[in-house]
Structures are given as C-alpha cells and as structure tokens.
C-alpha cells in the first residue's frame, strides 16, 4: 500500500543531508523531485561528494516552451534517454533526481529505442560505414571537426565523437572493421588525454528516431487528426526524413507515451514543496 509521510521543514540548502541519511537507511532506490532545474544540479553535486560510489541520475525537463518552434537541447534529450535506460535495467539502489516540470511531462517507452543503443569498446568488430549511418540516424551531427557535444567527424579510418555525458570527445581508431583504440582528446589541441578501456553506450540524442517504421506511424496518426495534412510543413518535413525545429512536440504521434512514474514504481518518492 502506498503511504504518504510529511517529513517537515528542512532549511534550504540542507536537503542533500536528509537525502543522504534517508538513502543509507532505505532498502529502496529514491526519487527526489526538486522544485526547479537549478536545484537538481546543486543536489547532485553535493550527493556525489558524500556518496561518490552511488549511481545518481538526472532527469530534466525540456528547456523550451511547449509547442514552440525550438527543439530541446540534444544533450538534455540524450540524458533523459540514458536515465530511463539505466533506471529500467538497474537492480541496485540508485538515486534519481528530477523536477516538477520534468515529472509532469509524458515520456518515451524505452523499448522503442532497443535497436538504437550502440555499445563500443576496444577490439569490437563493427562496420565503419554502418556506424556512421547509425550515428546520423540517432541524431549526431556530422562536422569537419568536433567542437560541441552530439557531434562527430570522420577522418580516414578515425571517428571523433563528442558524447553528451563526457567532458572531452572520444577518438575511435579503426583497422578495417575493428576498433583498435579508443581515447579521449582535447578538441582544441587535438592531443590525446586518456585511453578508454571500458565499454560505453552511445545513446540517441533525440527522443524521436526517424526510421521508416516510426514515420509510417506518424503519417497515419497525423492524417487522422489533420485533414489538410498535405499543406503542413511539419508533415512534409518529417515525410522527407528531415527534422523540423520543434518537431519533438509531435512525439506522441510517433510512440505510445508513458509517465516517469511507471519506471519508478518501486522507488521511494520524495518531493520538495
């Protein structure tokens, strides 16, 4: 049975101390719903200092006005997908930090993305051209030189890619279909920083994947709602495999949506009001 407990007054700035003590005593994972996006980062940084070996995930809201012709940052979209993926597979205690704005927005069904996660590691065999095409499909922008997150560049048998959750871009050095080396580098000096030995997952940077199957679903739903669909720029953009600005607002026409609560049914939920 779900129960509601009023914790009482906690002085502003000390919420992380309560969360720390509560998490240590609890047998379940916890979800903390912050008042705003600013508080999310403050709490996470303090908890990372107190319990550095605990997995702490963020789930932020889109950084745009609903139905505006501006897309949310790719970095935020990728972080949201990564968080849902991790809380859906994780078997150990974790901490999820989100906000009121994020929790009320319906979200994706993570199983829709099962075919779009790319695991990379040293000595993995993967087709070079297929990897490039896959990166474009999941929202990475191909550039001549990698400068910003969610970008990748190709030079000979090398792919440079800047993952949203990394401080520095990565360089994948191929020999035929084999990844011989992976290391981080400074995008300004291009100098090598560290060699990467662990397995990594490349997550999509957009919450809508423009696959042929997804577009069939979108077109069918769009036509059922809008009779004059042929004159719609949104419809024509998507149909031509182009992503319009603010196209994420039409995500319910691509997938069945869920709430974040459906992923955290076994979590203890704490809200700051």
Write the pLDDT tens digit of every residue in 130-167.
999 999 999 999 999 999 999 999 999 999 999 998 99
Q: Which residue has the tokens 């005593």?
A: 25
For 142, the 3-state DSSP assignment is strand
Helix (H) or strand (E) holding 184: strand 178-185
pLDDT at 6: 61
- Contact criterion met (CB below 8 Å) for 34 and 272: yes
Taking the C-alpha atoms of residue 112 and residue 122, their distance in angstroms, rounded to an integer, is 27
As a whole number of angstroms, the distance between CA 266 and CA 51 comes to 21
- pLDDT category of residue 262 using cuts at 50, 70 and 90: very high
pLDDT in tens, 202-248: 999 999 999 999 999 999 999 999 999 999 999 999 999 999 989 99
Band of residue 272 on the pLDDT scale cut at 50, 70, 90: confident
- What size, in residues, is the chain? 273
Q: List beta partners, residue 201.
A: 119
What was the pLDDT predicted at 91?
A: 83
Model pLDDT for residues 56-94, shown as the tens digit of each residue = 999 999 988 888 888 999 999 999 999 999 999 888 999
The CA radius of gyration of the chain, in Å to the nearest whole number, is 21
Residue 4 has a pLDDT of 60
**9: CB partners within 8 A, 6+ apart:** none
Question: Do 223 and 216 touch, CB atoms closer than 8 A?
Answer: no
Model confidence, pTM = 0.91
Q: Which residue has the higher pLDDT, 192 or 11?
A: 192
Closest by CA position to 135, among listed 78, 182, 63, 80: 78
Task: Tell me how far the alpha carbon of residue 162 is from its chain's centroid.
Answer: 14
Output the pLDDT for position 68. 84
- Contact call for residues 127 and 179 (beta carbons, < 8 A): no
Helix 15-25 / helix 37-50 crossing angle, nearest 10 deg: 50
Give the separation between CA 65 and CA 99, rounded to whole angstroms. Answer: 16
Average pLDDT, the chain: 91
């Amino acid at each position: 049975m779900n129960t509601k407990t009023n914790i009482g007054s906690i002085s502003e700035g000390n919420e992380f101390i309560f969360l720390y003590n509560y998490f240590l005593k609890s047998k379940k994972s916890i979800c903390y719903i912050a008042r705003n996006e600013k508080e999310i980062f403050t709490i996470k940084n303090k908890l990372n200092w107190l319990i550095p070996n605990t997995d702490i995930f963020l789930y932020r809201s889109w950084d745009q006005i609903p139905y505006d012709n501006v897309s949310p940052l790719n970095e935020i979209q990728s972080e949201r997908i990564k968080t849902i993926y991790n809380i859906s597979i994780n078997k150990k205690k974790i901490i999820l930090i989100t906000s009121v704005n994020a929790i009320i927005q319906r979200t994706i069904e993570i199983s829709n993305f099962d075919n779009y996660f790319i695991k990379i590691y040293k000595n993995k065999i993967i087709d070079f051209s297929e990897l490039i095409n896959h990166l474009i499909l999941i929202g990475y922008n191909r550039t001549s030189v990698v400068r910003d997150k969610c970008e990748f560049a190709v030079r000979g048998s090398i792919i440079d890619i800047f993952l949203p959750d990394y401080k520095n871009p990565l360089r994948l050095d191929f020999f035929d279909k084999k990844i011989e080396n992976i290391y981080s580098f400074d995008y300004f000096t291009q100098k090598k920083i560290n060699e990467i030995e662990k397995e990594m997952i490349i997550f999509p940077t957009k919450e809508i994947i423009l696959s042929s199957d997804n577009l069939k679903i979108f077109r069918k739903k769009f036509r059922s709602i809008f009779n004059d669909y042929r004159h719609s720029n949104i419809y024509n953009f998507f149909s031509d495999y182009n992503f319009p600005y603010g196209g994420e607002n039409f995500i319910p026409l691509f997938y069945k949506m869920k709430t974040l609560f459906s992923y955290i049914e076994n979590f203890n939920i704490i809200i700051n009001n």
